A and B are shown apart, each in its own frame.
Chain A
Amino acid sequence: MEKVGIVGYNQVKLQSDANYGRYEMIFEAVRGAIDKAGLKKKDITTVISCTNDYYDGRTISNCFTVEVGGGYLADESKVEMDGAHAVLYGLLRILSGNHKLAVVWGGSMPSCFPYHTTRLYETDPTWERPLAYVNDITAAGFQMRAYMEKYGVSKEEVANVAVKNRKNAAKNALALEEAQNQNITVKDVLNSDIYADPVTELMVAQPCDGVAALLLAPEKQARKITDNPVWITGVGWNQETYYLGDRDLSGSKSLELAGKMAYNAAGIKDPRKEIQVAELYEAYAHEELIFTEALKLADRGKAPELNTNIKGDLPINPSGGAIGGNPPCGTGLIRIIEASKQLNGEAGTYQVNGVKKAIASGQIGMCAQNSILYVLEGGN
């Protein structure tokens, strides 16, 4: 595929209760991205937003975000999935040649709504929803159990992921304060409240308030706008079947296929050697392990053995990942921004050395039913 440039990005500080308006937050994110790139409102030709009517508690949740998101009299649309999927639509629009600058923003304010209750509306309305035994949390419990049983992975190894991400988040000033913990131990994670056995509270990426924005431009314009654009060289997305009983929860078919498509587009043959850092949207600690394997960064069942610390063999989620703060509709977008920061050397205290190629993923649905993966490259 033709490469598309990421020419700017901005993210607001993630907060558990932001206590200021959704629209102000969107404006802060989008205006910040445009300002940082040295652009003006008139340069925007298309805007793709990412919100969810259920999360925002209103029908047509993008209706009143037109002005604050820079969409006034611009060609605009909304993707109701993860922010990473909104970037996909922005990318498609740029590749069409119809547009020269796309603004993509996504985010939400779960301090205003019960996140896990709204997730219940994703379940089958006839068989699953009335009893609510199957919901996003219990599904994660099934997923973690399936993974542990199949490969003999221990709870401690899963808890390690939560520990690593929460320690990483402590270095990221924009991460959720409640998720930042320099001194957390595996014991703390395992002793926290049980959400759905074996998933405990500290293994969950807690929903929080936040909005992020990203600017995309075709290669030629990108070079004019900035000296160090980040290039999207590959993208893949995929949806697997719905019913949990029809799926192998110990792996992620959707991300595996998405990864295959993205690697193919970017010409990556051996991801383990070619990729220096990964930012994955892990809604739960065990998902990071499953995704690592689905993306061929580790053999099946061997992800816990991989050293994924910032200074490790293959750093995963040096920013703290989704466990470091999970604004619905914004998390996947933030993963792309964090991967871009790594490529630009802007990650500061959690910078990984020598990053040339990075990957970033997004997901929606129970046990990541629909996944998306980006391959990003730096340099000219």
Chain B
Amino acid sequence: MGKQVAIVSAGFSEHASKRSDVNMGELVSEAVEDCLKKVPSVGFDDINAYVNGNMPAFEGSNIPELWMTDWMGARNKPLMRVTTGGTTGGSVAIAGYYTVTAGLPGIDTVLAVAFEQQSQGDTSVGLASVAYGEISILNTLGISYDQITRLLSAGAAIGVAAYQATTYMNKTRITEEDLARVVVQNRHNAAKTWWAHLKMPNLTIEDVLDTPYVQYPLRYGMVCPASDGACAMLFTTEEKAKDMCDIPVYVNGVASVANESAVLGYDGGGSAQVDPSMQLGAIRSSELAYAQAGISFPRKEIDYAEVYAPFPNQELLWTEKLGLFEETTAPEMYKNGVTALKGELPVNCSGGVNSTNAIGASAMERPAEAALQIMGKASNQVPKTVHTSIGSGWGGSLNLITLMAMSDQPQRKWR
């Protein structure tokens, strides 16, 4: 019944809008090297299996793991590919956990790799195809393509995120300034993270509010960049972890739960009633992961959180839905500095997805950073000691949430 799993290392490639100096395989190898560099006793021979993923439509290569096998050292090794859209990185990390915990003979150390090189293709075109199926159905109902694109797929992910933002703003009565404050905190944090993309140490709220709207209420300055980058995490068993690093980070709870699939839904009806800021998937994911990890009072027990949020409203929303703050109180917490580097519950000290978004990798960078904060090896390390942390991921059409709860202590109670 399930071995205790530990994270012993995590690594990143450098992130930028265009990493045209490398191809996909080389980009991935940067992250793998950075990951293994931190655990000198581990070589490729010690890795028994691989888990891998990205969003294939963005680069224009189907199952790219096939040709980048040798760049990861995966030749003649078991490899599994997991992709779930925006949550891909989180799903890959979770699959890495499951591969170790299952305890198959001969498999105890697993390298999980997630990446995206968006400059190879067109992300917005890739994302628009998420909505195409529904658009064709709506067309048959007499709703013109023009109206739908303007409503939903214009600006790809922003199109749907704007709905989520306005419904959330309606509940909390916050202003655009509250959204900008989140962005400023993230970009300042990113400036201190070596691998981050948008580093803006001098950004102010006024600067953010001075940029044009992409879609109300989201302004250009509030939106995540499109990055090239990769992330790797090394999972192993409790016994082996102690030999590999000083402070192993134990994975105590994982979940990836989806709510109803869409704002519009498959047939353009029914699901349209779902409030995109309700987030049943996030609530259920946190229930499952916290129950496994033995976390009863997330607000008190969790010391650090990495929340997947390309847009600032989502960071506010999901810190609430994942149980870190009471409903509608997150904006206040950001105002009071609770989530800052030196605050009581620091959030996204890596700069978050808002500052760096290599989509397939983003949801893995969250648990990776959250684990490094426990190890004390994060680039922008929080001053307090972190015992328990979480890393989340968001994907699908606003509906799928992955979550990994980690701690410096193994958790066996729940079984």
- Residue A52 at the chain B interface, CB threshold 8 Å: yes
Most central of A77, A236, A258, A261 by chain B CB within 10 Å: A77
Most central of B58, B75, B258 by chain A CB within 10 Å: B258
B112 to chain A, nearest CB (A): 13
Which listed residue, B69, B83, B254, touches A239 by the CB 8 Å rule? B69
Interface string of A359-377 (1 = CB under 8 A from B): 0000011100110000000
Identify the stretch in A28-36, A81-89, A205-213, A335-343 within 8 Å (CB) of chain B at 4 or more residues: A81-89
Find out whether the CB atom of B266 lies under 8 angstroms from the CB atom of A121: no
Q: Chain B: which residue is nearest A78 at the CB level?
A: B84
Find out whether the CB atom of A241 lies under 8 angstroms from the CB atom of B415: no
- A65 CA / B103 CA spacing, docked (Å): 30
A308 to chain B, nearest CB (A): 28
- Residue A286 at the chain B interface, CB threshold 8 Å: no
Identify the stretch in A56-64, A292-300, A345-353 within 8 Å (CB) of chain B at 4 or more residues: A56-64
Find out whether the CB atom of A63 lies under 8 angstroms from the CB atom of B78: no
- Residue A355 at the chain B interface, CB threshold 8 Å: no
Identify the stretch in A92-100, A103-111, A145-153 within 8 Å (CB) of chain B at 4 or more residues: A92-100
What residues of chain A lie closer than 8 Å to B305, measured between beta carbons? none
- Residue B376 at the chain A interface, CB threshold 8 Å: no
Interface string of A302-330 (1 = CB under 8 A from B): 00000000000000000000000000000
- Residue B99 at the chain A interface, CB threshold 8 Å: yes
Identify the stretch in B189-197, B280-288, B344-352, B382-390 within 8 Å (CB) of chain A at 4 or more residues: B280-288
- Residue A257 at the chain B interface, CB threshold 8 Å: yes
- Residue A169 at the chain B interface, CB threshold 8 Å: no
- Residue B354 at the chain A interface, CB threshold 8 Å: no
Which listed residue, A1, A65, A71, A80, touches B81 by the CB 8 Å rule? A80
What residues of chain A lie closer than 8 Å to B69, measured between beta carbons? 239-242, 369
A1-B103, A261-B106, A370-B66 known; A76 vs B77 contact (CB < 8 Å): no
- A236 CA / B76 CA spacing, docked (Å): 12
- Residue B82 at the chain A interface, CB threshold 8 Å: yes
- A253 CA / B76 CA spacing, docked (Å): 8
Interface string of B97-137 (1 = CB under 8 A from A): 01101111110000000000000100000110110111000
B149 to chain A, nearest CB (A): 16
Find out whether the CB atom of A365 lies under 8 angstroms from the CB atom of B78: no
- A72 CA / B260 CA spacing, docked (Å): 6
Which listed residue, B75, B83, B102, B120, touches A92 by the CB 8 Å rule? B102
- A95 CA / B74 CA spacing, docked (Å): 24
A252 to chain B, nearest CB (A): 12
What residues of chain A lie closer than 8 Å to B68, measured between beta carbons? 242
- Residue A118 at the chain B interface, CB threshold 8 Å: yes
Which listed residue, A64, A80, A236, A240, touches B83 by the CB 8 Å rule? A80
Interface string of A233-255 (1 = CB under 8 A from B): 00111111111000000000110
What residues of chain B lie closer than 8 Å to A236, measured between beta carbons? 78
Find out whether the CB atom of A67 lies under 8 angstroms from the CB atom of B66: no
- Residue B272 at the chain A interface, CB threshold 8 Å: no
Which listed residue, A81, A93, A97, touches B1 by the CB 8 Å rule? A97
Find out whether the CB atom of A238 lies under 8 angstroms from the CB atom of B130: no
What residues of chain B lie closer than 8 Å to A54, measured between beta carbons? 56-57, 62
A104 to chain B, nearest CB (A): 13
A63-B262, A81-B80, A122-B63 known; A75 vs B256 contact (CB < 8 Å): yes
- Residue B227 at the chain A interface, CB threshold 8 Å: no
- Residue B164 at the chain A interface, CB threshold 8 Å: no
A99 to chain B, nearest CB (A): 10
- Which B residues from 81 to 95 make CB contacts under 8 A with A? 81-86, 91, 94-95
- Which A residues from 263 to 310 make CB contacts under 8 A with B? 264-265
A111 to chain B, nearest CB (A): 16
A53-B56, A59-B85, A98-B292 known; A23 vs B266 contact (CB < 8 Å): yes
A89-B98, A93-B98, A241-B75 known; A77 vs B82 contact (CB < 8 Å): yes
Which listed residue, A74, A239, A264, touches B74 by the CB 8 Å rule? A239
Interface string of A111-133 (1 = CB under 8 A from B): 00000001101111110000000
Find out whether the CB atom of B77 lies under 8 angstroms from the CB atom of A60: no
Most central of A97, A126, A369 by chain B CB within 10 Å: A97
Residue pairs across A and B with Cβ atoms less than 8 A apart, 25 shown, are A54-B56, A59-B130, A62-B84, A63-B261, A63-B396, A66-B399, A66-B400, A72-B260, A73-B257, A73-B258, A73-B281, A75-B255, A75-B257, A77-B84, A79-B81, A88-B80, A89-B80, A97-B2, A122-B66, A237-B79, A240-B69, A241-B75, A242-B70, A265-B105, A365-B66
* Residues of B near any A CB (own CB < 8 A): 1-2, 23, 50, 53, 55-63, 65-70, 74-86, 91, 94-95, 98-99, 101-106, 120, 126-127, 129-130, 132-134, 254-262, 266, 280-281, 284, 288, 292, 395-397, 399-400, 415
Closest 10 A-B residue pairs measured CB to CB? A60-B85, A95-B102, A97-B2, A121-B62, A97-B1, A92-B102, A239-B79, A54-B62, A92-B98, A59-B57
* Residues of A near any B CB (own CB < 8 A): 1-2, 23, 52-54, 57-60, 62-67, 71-81, 85, 88-89, 91-93, 95-98, 118-119, 121-126, 235-243, 253-254, 257-258, 261, 264-265, 364-366, 369-370
